[in-house]
Structure 1
Amino acid sequence: SGKWELVTDKFPFILADPMAFYDKDLDKLFIYYGSGAGTSIMGMELDKKTMMPKMEAVPLFHPDAKNYGWEVAGDYNTNYSHEAWMEGAWMNKHNGKYYLQYAVPGTEFKSYSNGIYVSDSP
């Protein structure tokens, strides 16, 4: 219809770089968010009618330069003194698998890249 309706303006906290994901197979709504230096990508289920959290937010993953060198800051992933900037959570579902994409180590670097975690559940 092109007509938007406000569901709520009372969300209990600020969501940095949020992405809503509705899983029609589960009939559940989730939100993924997070943006900042050294911050985690977070996730939680929302009530479909009120858009309010149904649970506490869960930290899903955090920058891990020790194990994933491409997450190290700098144009050539060599700046260990600069904490990586993680952002851009995006969930997709394909053939029963969930793919949670994110971006790191920061838009100012040539090495800015996307990572994807794969799971059997959202």
Structure 2
Amino acid sequence: MAEQPADTPDSEHLWAPEDAFSILGDETRLTILLELADAFQTESDGLSFSELRRRVGVEDSGQFNYHLDKLSEGFIEKADDKYSIRSSGLAVVSAVYAGTYGDGSGDETAESSWDCPKCGDPL
């Protein structure tokens, strides 16, 4: 059996839509994704726990760790004590900036400053 790419959710990480949106529905978690997407352009190796927590503005490290754990189920990853955004997280951030989750008209487009980590094309 072929091994799945690291950014492809396996059967343990496939959510029902309500579960995925429940994870993303928290303001702190969305802010974490936004900060990691911003850092994706400048800090290619990711952000440390303390730097990311400072940028997001959460004082309680235990509470912050709880939110990171929720996002680690498919939207972010940790390597060498640094957190970085996965392509699924970039897709969420791009959709937010494009207004896809806005008024529901669905006909809005916007350019993103991020490139796809897999193919290099603009998102």
TM-score (norm. length: structure 2) = 0.22
Task: Using structure 1 for the length normalisation, give the TM-score.
Answer: 0.22
Highest Rg: 1 or 2?
1
Q: Which has the higher strand share?
A: 1
**Greater relative contact order (Cα < 8 A, sep 6+):** 2
